[in-house]
Structure 1
Amino acid sequence: MPFIDLKAQYAALKTSIDARIQRVLDHGQYIMGPEVKELEEKLAAHVGVKHCISVASGTEALLIALMALDLQPGDEVITTPFTFAATAETIVLLGGVPVFVDIEPDTCNIDPKLIEAAITPRTRAIMPVSLYGQVCDMDEINAIAARHGGLPVIEDAAQSFGASYRGRKSCGLSTWGATSFFPSKPLGCYGDGGALFTDDDALAQAAREIRVHGQSQRYTHTRLGVGGRMDTIQCAVVLAKLERFDWEIARRLAIGERYQELLAGLPEALGVQRLAVRGNRDCVWAQFTLQIEAREAVFKSLNGAGIPTAIHYPRPLHQQPAYERFGRGQVLPHAEAAARRVMSLPMSADLSEAQQDVVVAALRQALQQHVARV
């Protein structure tokens, strides 16, 4: 059983994907070809914003967003410690200081109630992460930002593209929305890719210049930039995948809900905690993640039974060697507890009910065996 079934997805879209790629091979515009603009227009319409800027990866999206905001050395960016390293990495690469705020124990997203106390005169931006496919409470975060001089908010939506929050789409909820098209994401290409979303004309222009080495026109470098373009072939792949993206999101919602229902039947004594999905939003389950007290034993048992699993993430950033100096010895109990307990199960739009039943049965057996041993 695959953890993410990209082969089944390709089989369903093979004709369209192959044709899209062949078109690029025929016209030969591998960098900034016509598919780039076509994809940006379609993605902007999907999210409901004025501007989409395709970039080389989700990491580049965050980096370019911060560069467009002119983040300076010593500037602070409030974010979560429970995320992939790229979130803090981009801040530090620019000389900024990540300020870590603990998470909600039931969603694993940043806790908005703790953000305001972390704001200082050096705060330049807030970067929440919509983890596992569920959008953070962006209205509350935006309100906090507004109360403090209109701080920019960057939604790290690498895992939540396609998700909804109060009737609006992830990536269209704040100053910047940044997503990834890494192959395993809800909308993925066949390599690296990403995108930025905004309604701000000036920021959009800055990002477009930054992604081509700061050029406002050919060989006129008006600002510091990077080589951050998304390849035309990767744009072509995403264009083909957009054809059934709405169906895939509907499937992810249904599969996630069924997982939740099946897991709700597990006895409380087995020590499984399902992630909460707030009533005013949904979750597209980039990973279907739950928290398990006996994670190591269950992890070994499932893998031994041929059920692939993963841990997103085993160590929070404030305890990572590269970033612990920014944590300054912080104790962030919910992030630390989640890192000890989270485990992700197989998840993709093509996962069948029969496969789900096999996964949950194996999980139940592993938990019962562990309880029997202790």
Structure 2
Amino acid sequence: MKPIPLFDPQSEYRVLRNEHILDALSEVLDKGIFVAGPEVKRFEAEMALLTQAKHAVSTANGTDSLILTLLANGIGPGDEVITSPFTFFATAEAIVRVGATPVFADIDERTYNLSPAHTEAKITARTKAIIPVHLFGQSADMDAFADLAHRYSLIIIEDACQAIGAEYKGKQVGSLGHAACLSFYPTKNLGGFGDGGMVTSNDGEMADRIRVLAFHGMGKLKYFHEAVGLNSRLDEIQALMLRIKMQKLSAWTKRRQELAERYTNQLAHLNDLILPYCDSACSHVYHLYVIQVPDPDKLLLHMDQHGVTTARYYPCPLHLQQAFSSLGYKAGDFPVTEKVAEHALALPVHPFLTDDQQQYIINKLAAYSHSK
């Protein structure tokens, strides 16, 4: 069996090569418009349709999407933003970058998403926003967060960077809060051939502010600046690649769901594994299929020795990161997060994984479990 990667951008490219992407790329190059051109505008319109949002503003990456959304809502020094300690670093990094303070709350032990109940306990007079993360491809409990937003007059910003195409009670993530932030990093379910991001919102004024801030704070008059912003734009080549890939997203998502279902069915008898939980209100898109095991490092080594790449997501929670030591958190503050972080391990679930490869992975997991 050839080595099995956790992600497989090479196989993805081989599939897309048959979609005449090189011809399409040549057309963009021939036009000579590389930033803020027609491909970007078309992609934004298509993303708005996909997410069921009224507006979509492209950015350079998912991190900038978060920063720009916070800035557009006037969030800065003296403000607090509540989010999950079990997510990629960028979620809290963006809060710090605008001068606000990240406040962490513990996660739900089944979905690994931010717990609304724990979040409410962290709300203070300084709280201005909540960033629920749709972790690993499953939506957070957005009705509960909408209720908190209503009762406490808060902004809800979805971190949907891992969850494009996911649904909550029949609605697409990306249209469930005041704004949503997306990433098109190459390993995402919809990934570019480089970095890229998007903010979606039903608030036209907010979308306009984000668009201005993403282009150095420049408004409708060229070289006249309304604010100090960022240089955060998606280029034409990435927009073109992402538009082509969007045509495959539904089929790729279905394949991820099929693979996840097969893992769950065939691994359920292994008592030392905790398998992902899918909330009945959600349609999970499985950016990652994350299990819990007693010793993830030992299993990672075992799988690596058999040619299968797995990975720890996320071994050090944000509240214990050195970069956030000034916030004063300590081990034991968020017991659910710390337990999951200690035991979590991601298995390959990309849409180019073959049935034979997956069966090989399942067999190696079973052999490991039975050998102990």
Q: If the length of structure 2 is used for normalisation, what is the TM-score? A: 0.96
Aligned equivalent of 1:181: 184
Equivalent position SS for 1:274: coil
Corresponding position of 1:120? 124
CA deviation after TM superposition for structure 1 residue 282, in Å:
1.6
Give 2:353's aligned residue: 351
Amino acid across the alignment from 2:289: F
Counterpart in the other structure of 1:363: 365
Cα pair 2:289 2:349 within 8 Å, conserved: yes
Deviation at 1:327, TM superposition (A): 4.5
1:240 aligns with 2:241: no
Shift of 1:265: 2.6
Aligned residue pairs: how many?
A: 366
Deviations along 1:305-327, one digit per CA (max 9) or x if unpaired, are 11001111110000000113224
- Output the CA distance in 2 between the equivalents of 1:365 and 1:120: 50
Q: Secondary structure at the match of 2:322?
A: coil
Q: How does 1:1-374 map to 2 (within 5 A)?
A: 1-14=4-17, 15-149=19-153, 151-217=154-220, 218-266=222-270, 268=271, 271-329=272-330, 331-369=333-371, 371=372
Residue identity opposite 2:357 in structure 1: Q
Q: Deviations over 1:123-164 (max 9, x none)?
A: 010001100000000111111111012x11001011000111
Q: Give the ranges of 4+ consecutive aligned residues of structure 1 lying more than 6 Å apart after TM superposition.
A: none
- The CA deviation string for residues 280-315 of structure 1, in whole angstroms up to 9 with x for no partner, is 112111111111112121111111111001111110
Deviations 1:36-78 (A, max 9, x none): 0000001101111110001000101101110101112020000
Contact 2:290 2:346 in 1 (8 A): yes
> How many angstroms apart in 2 are the aligned matches of 1:320 and 1:160?
24
Normalised by the size of structure 1, how large is the TM-score? 0.96
Aligned AA (1:164) = E
Aligned-partner Cα distance in 1 for 2:20–2:206: 34
Rounded to whole Å, the distance in 2 between the matches of 1:224 and 1:20 is: 36
SS, match of residue 165 in structure 2: coil
Q: Contact (CA 8 Å) 2:218, 2:224: kept in 1 or not? A: yes
Q: Which amino acid aligns with 2:300?
A: F
Segments of 5+ residues of structure 1 without an aligned counterpart are none
Contact 1:20–1:240 (8 Å) recurs in 2:
no
Seq. identity, %: 36
